[in-house]
Structure formats: structure tokens, C-alpha cells
Amino acid sequence: MRTTIDRAGRIVVPKGLRERLGLRGGEELEIDEVDGRIEIRRPPRHVELAVTRHGLLAAAPSSSEHERGADEVRELLERTRR
């Protein structure tokens, strides 16, 4: 896949790739140089262990993490089911 860098140094991630990866405008990403390549990834999500109402331990996003809306959750479910 090929793209270009504009004069401001921005790289356009092609729409199909953004859709497959679930990337959205304004989302924070990490970018590094690794062995002469550019590597872009989502920052790790921070989770906390929480006890469910049934007394089980579950991982839950820390309170500082972005909460996903219903549409975003539905989209993630659809992608994982494919």
C-alpha cells in the first residue's frame, strides 16, 4: 500500500486500512523509528482489576481511559465476528 507525505509532514492512512483497524480521526497513536522503519501503534490501554457483581475478577478500563459509545462497541463486535 502506498501513500504520500504532505508538506506539513502528515501521512494519510488509506480509508480501507483505517476501517480494518478501527482508527478514527483525533485518536492518539504512538509513532517510533525501529530499524529504519516507521512503526505506528495504539498506545497500551490501562486496565484495573474489578470485582463483578458475581464476585469474579474482570479487567476494566481505568477511569482515565476513553469510554466507548454504543456505536463504537457495535462496530468492534462486528469486526471481531468477521
pLDDT tens digits for range 7-20: 999 999 999 999 99
Cα–Cα nearest to 1, from 22, 26, 20: 20
Strand partners, 32: 39
Using DSSP's 3-state secondary structure scheme, residue 19 falls into helix
| CATH number 2.10.260.10 is the correct assignment for the domain at 1-43 | yes
pLDDT digits (tens, 9 = 90+) for 36-72: 999 999 888 777 778 888 988 888 777 655 566 667 7
Buried b (16+ CB within 10 A) or exposed e, 27-36: eeeeeeeeee
Domain ranges of the chain: 1-43, 45-82
> Degrees (nearest 5) of the Cα angle 9, 10, 15?
155
